[in-house]
Amino acid sequence: MRLRKSSTKQYQLKLSISMSHSNLQPRLDGNSSALLLLLALLLLLQVPDAGAGLTAASTPVPSSSASTTITEALQGQREAQITATRAASFAACLRSIKGFPEVRLPGTPNYRDYANGLRIIRWHLPAAVVYPKSVPQVQAAVLCAVKFKVQPIPRGGANSFESLSSGDGALVVDLSEMGAVMVDVKAMTATVQFGARMGNVYSAIYKAGVSAGKNLTCLGGVWPQVGIGGLTAAGGYGSLSRKYGVLADHILSARVVDAKARVLLTNEQSNPDLFFAIRGGGGGTYGIVVEATVKLVEVPVVTVAHIGYRGLDHAVDLMERFQRWAPSSPSELTFTYNLVRAGSDIKLYYLGREAELRQLIHQRSGLLAYPGAVFRAVECDVLGSRGWLAGSGWAPLSCKSDNVEVPQRVKPGGLLMKDREASKYRSAIFTKPVPREGLQEIVALLRSPEKIWKLFQWKAYGGAFDSIPASFNAFPHRKGVIMHSEFGTSFGYQRSAAELAASRARVVWDYFARAAAVMDKYATDARYNGYVCLCDDVAQYFGANYARLKAAKKKFDPGNVFRNALSVPPTGGDTSLE
């Protein structure tokens, strides 16, 4: 800090400042108190010249408002010093964790890339990011966060559409260094650390099964880069779901680090309320799930298939047929119906032979009844089928296992970075078909002139969903639901929504609002927690299970240490982060 003479010959104080997120904060040295007092006096006294002396007779008496200004300035300086000291102590706490996990702090190279995940509708500036490699290191990180009153946020796959796997001023506990998968073929289980990405889980299980002469897998989603933690927290609809349910239905036990840094075993007998909550009850809410044991299934053969229609001329008829037949089709068949501006793309995943599927589709589905239909099918082993599902439906149909394994870490310049996107999606749950006029409205949205990405996706229910009770775990969407939808748009890659030109961003927001209004007319009030949106109410994700989840939250995290904008609050609490 130094004094310089202004053009009006009055002295001004020039402070070195630093930008922290959106606030300007002064950097003050050890003489800050005296300098701030001098600053206040100089501004009050309006010194006319650097050489002018001050006498008792000529010195104005500071007014009460001037005294208040001085007091506030000194108080602000003291608070800044306390904040800086606290931040340094917090960083020292993290760096002193036994085994020295990697710690990233603001101001270090590429910090924004480490601080944020793969979905970047908004950027966050957390207080630190820590990469524990063991459960004791997770416990120690939680203790540091609680001691310094910093919000801990667990991060697994970092795929939250609302960027909830990071937060301003928070401690991001990134579990990507904890991705071990231990398979017990005899017991038909896998014990998985909850930093693992699903592609790596599938691959490890498959390799262990092949060595024992079995074709094994677990329940999961479609995209290999999705983390097992976030998928389990949402429920986990995937390519085997109409036969076996969701991933959360196959979790046998788990270990959770709670707000007191204890490791709690959860299963049907031990901490059953917590076990209920972590299976489909939302992510980052009840503690940090560090490991779970998952039940495996044997899948001897899979037929993957694709039905494609270019253009939207038959989209209404095709979707009308799909939503009336798919939920009642054999449970061995799971669908993903994508409707985009280019046309209809239906992916099919069948637990059986190609000839059986061809007969089913040609004779019973009615999905090939319209001109221009393209139907392709091929048999795969279970790992090869996972790889094809992750690709484009219009790509050459083949069994692909070389794109299933993915990097664990999101690193600057890394492979996962190419998928970093500011996307805006929402879910809808349907208990009856969308009427024809509703389908026409959806097609009209796709045909509207905005040159932006638009997607409406449907996944059929029925099958196992009709036989598993809604109270089995926190995932409530069971009997009576015929399909759920994911719909939305994108602001583009490698930038947040706020970084898009305002006029362009307005087009995206306006389209999303219109799409949501159309879907709301025909869907129920329920939502799927896998596609979170800040426009939702938390209770919509959990239906009749919401009260039990709030009670579990109050029991295991009454201080709401683990929280985000869409987490379940304790009974009697709310979702405020203040």
pLDDT for position 366: 96
**pLDDT at 51 (0 to 100):** 34
Question: Which pLDDT score is estimated for 84?
Answer: 81
Provide the mean pLDDT of the chain: 87
pLDDT-based confidence at residue 81 (cuts at 50, 70, 90): confident
pLDDT band at residue 430 under the 50/70/90 scheme: very high
Give mean pLDDT, residues 357-386: 94
pLDDT at position 74 over 80: no
Q: What is the pLDDT of residue 66?
A: 67
Q: Tokens for 539, please give them.
A: 């209770």
In this structure, of 102-111, 408-417, 480-489, 490-499, the range with the lowest mean pLDDT score is 408-417
| Distances, alpha carbon 474 to alpha carbons 248, 285, 414, 478, in Å | 9, 13, 35, 11
Specify the pairing of strand 171-174 against strand 128-131: parallel
Residue 4 pLDDT level (bands cut at 50, 70, 90): very low
Q: Work out the number of other CB atoms within 10 angstroms of the CB of residue 498.
A: 12
pLDDT recorded at residue 263: 98
At residue 454, the pLDDT reads 98
Q: How confident is the model at residue 385 (pLDDT cuts 50, 70, 90)?
A: confident
Sheet holding 189-193, edge to edge: 181-184, 189-193, 288-295, 251-257, 263-266
In this predicted model, what pLDDT tens digit does every residue of 104-158 receive, in sequence order? 999 999 999 999 999 999 999 999 999 999 999 999 999 999 999 999 999 999 9
Tell me the domain boundaries of the chain.
Answer: 2-93
Q: Tokens 């899948």 appear where?
A: 299
- On whether the CB atoms of residues 119 and 108 are closer than 8 A, the answer is no
Write the DSSP assignment of 16-43 as a string of letters: -EEEETTEEEE---TTHHHHHHHHHHHH
- φ and ψ at 188, to 5 degrees? 60, 45
pLDDT tens digits, residue range 40-73? Answer: 332 233 333 333 333 333 444 455 666 777 777 7
pLDDT at 324 exceeding the cut of 60: yes
Residue 449: alpha-carbon gap to chain centroid: 30
| pLDDT for the residue numbered 452 | 97
Give me 270's structure tokens.
């031990």
Show the CA angle centred on residue 504, arms to residues 501 and 506, nearest 5°.
Answer: 105
Between β-strands 152-155 and 171-174, what pairing exists: parallel, antiparallel or unpaired?
A: parallel
Instruction: Note whether 78 and 32 are within 8 A (CB).
Output: no
